[in-house]
Amino acid sequence: MAEPSGPLPTGRNRRVVLYGHPVLRLRAVEVESLDDRARRFLADLKATMLEQDGLGLAGNQLGEPVRAFAIDPRSTGVDREPYCVLNPRVLAVEGRLEREEGCLSLPGIYEVVTRPEFIRIAGIGEDAKPVELEATGLLARAFAHEIDHLDGRLFVDHLSKLRLALLGRRLADLEERESRAAEAEAAPAR
């Protein structure tokens, strides 16, 4: 992957797609080149995550099946600026922690999900160089959550059939909201 020139451009806050949007069920496509379009997308991903108070945000949550995520380690108590990881893959996991989890694509829904206590991932950084990252606790949970998104899985997929059934009406409401938002975006401007 060719090295980009300079820092990411200024990103813009975009609409996060909601539960029911088909892109959330797709395996995201790897980023082949960190060209201007990809750099703008990463900038938007990071800006949207920060503007909408997310701990992390996956590429497909912006409606595009791009295999990248943004993360804000400061939200987990780690003193590091927000960054993006392209083409992430899990190298190792250890332990298991149960904790309540939410998602910008499922607003208002919080459920207890089991995730690894430790995770090691590899990918490509914003500078187009390989990175290997390790995390524990909440940051490990965030890495696992975002990589799940990039594989077409949502945190509610980890719930029992009973818990999922109890969320049925709320999930149907989100699907309806997403459908209306998609129709509004597709409508010609007047």
Under 8 Å between Cβ of 113 and 175? no
Domain range for 101 is 22-185
Binding residues for Fe cation: 103, 145, 149
Check residue 4 and give its pLDDT. Answer: 63
Beta-sheet pairing, 68-71 with 83-94: antiparallel
Q: Which residues of the chain have pLDDT under 50?
A: none
Gap between the Cα atoms of 98 and 3, Å rounded: 39
Edge-to-edge strand ranges of the sheet holding 56-58: 56-58, 68-71, 83-94, 118-124, 130-136
Say if 140 falls within a structural domain: yes
For this structure, is 134 an active site residue?
Answer: no
Q: Which one from 146, 176, 178, 183 is the annotated catalytic residue?
A: 146
Gap between the Cα atoms of 68 and 59, Å rounded: 5
Say if 69 falls within a structural domain: yes
CATH of the domain at 76: 3.90.45.10
Kindly state the tokens that stand for 51: 């503007």
Check residue 42 and give its pLDDT. Answer: 96
Number of domains in the chain: 1
Say if 10 falls within a structural domain: no
Binding residues: 103, 145, 149
Check residue 68 and give its pLDDT. Answer: 98
pLDDT tens per residue across span 138-187: 999 999 999 999 999 999 999 999 999 999 999 999 999 999 999 998 88
Say if 190 falls within a structural domain: no
Instruction: For residue 107, give the 3-state DSSP assignment.
Output: coil
Location of structure tokens 């499922």: 106
Q: Which residues of 144-172 are buried (b: 16+ CB within 10 A; e: fewer)?
A: bbbbbbbebebbbebbeeeeeeebeeebe
Check residue 2 and give its pLDDT. Answer: 60
- 162: phi then psi, degrees, rounded to nearest 5: -65, -50
Say if 77 falls within a structural domain: yes
* Run of H or E including 51: helix 36-51
pTM of the model: 0.93
